[in-house]
Structure 1
Amino acid sequence: MMGMFGFTKSSRLLSRNQFEHVYTNGATFHRGPIRIHMVENMLEHNRLGLSVPRRAGNAVRRNRIKRLLREAFRLIPDPPVQGYDLVVTVRQHAPFSTEHYQSLLTEALAKTCR
Structure 2
Amino acid sequence: MRKSYRVKREKDFNAIFKEGQNFANRKFVVYRLENHQAHFRTGLSVSKKLGNAVVRNRIKRRIRHVLIEHRSYMKALDFVVIARKGVEELTYQELETNLLHVLKLAKIYQEGHDCEKET
Corresponding residue for 2:107? 110
Change (3 A) 1:77 1:20: closer
| C-alpha RMSD of the superposition | 2.2
Question: What aligned pairs does 1:45-64 form with structure 2 within 5 A after superposition?
Answer: 45-64=39-58
Corresponding residue for 2:116? none
Residue 79 (structure 1) shift:
1.8
In structure 2, C-alpha distance between the alignment counterparts of 1:11 and 1:111, rounded to whole Å? 14
1:48-97 Cα distance to aligned partner (Å, 9 max, x none): 1001110122212111110000111111153252x200101112212441
1:88 aligned onto 2:92 = no
Residue 33 (structure 1) shift:
2.0
Change (3 A) 1:87 1:35: same
For structure 2, the residue ranges without an aligned partner over 5 or more in a row are 111-119
- Work out the number of aligned pairs and report it: 106
Which of 7, 13, 17 is the matching residue for 2:7?
13
In structure 2, C-alpha distance between the alignment counterparts of 1:63 and 1:110, rounded to whole Å? 26
State the SS of the aligned residue for 1:44: coil
The aligned amino acid for 2:77 is Y
The aligned amino acid for 1:104 is H
Corresponding residue for 1:4? none
1:68 aligned onto 2:62 = yes
Corresponding residue for 2:114? none
- TM-score, structure 2 as length reference: 0.77
In structure 1, C-alpha distance between the alignment counterparts of 2:61 and 2:50, rounded to whole Å? 14
Change (3 A) 1:63 1:69: same
For structure 1, the residue ranges without an aligned partner over 5 or more in a row are 1-6
